[in-house]
Amino acid sequence: MAKALYGHVGNAPDRRMLDEVTKLRARVRSLEFEVARLRADNDRLTAEVEREDLERLSKSASELIAVR
């Protein structure tokens, strides 16, 4: 039994498994890059919306002051 177990554990992974692992690692890298890109886009869009909100509030405040 020990020899059978050792033989099973000691066998080198087959070529198909190595190819699969290589493809999966490449896919993970691709997805990590996509996540980083989407986060950067999200940060940029959030900053733009915040800037527009501040401009709108500033304009509204200026109009209120001018009316008084």
Give tens-digit pLDDT for 13-57.
Answer: 789 999 999 999 999 999 999 999 999 999 999 999 999 999 998
**pTM of the complete model:** 0.62
Residue 68, pLDDT score: 64
Q: Rounded CA gap, 34 and 51, in Å?
A: 26
The residues spanned by each domain of the chain are 2-67
Q: How far is the CA of 43 from the CAs of 17, 37, 55, in angstroms?
A: 39, 10, 18
pLDDT tens-place string over residues 51-60: 999 999 888 8
pLDDT of 11 reads: 67
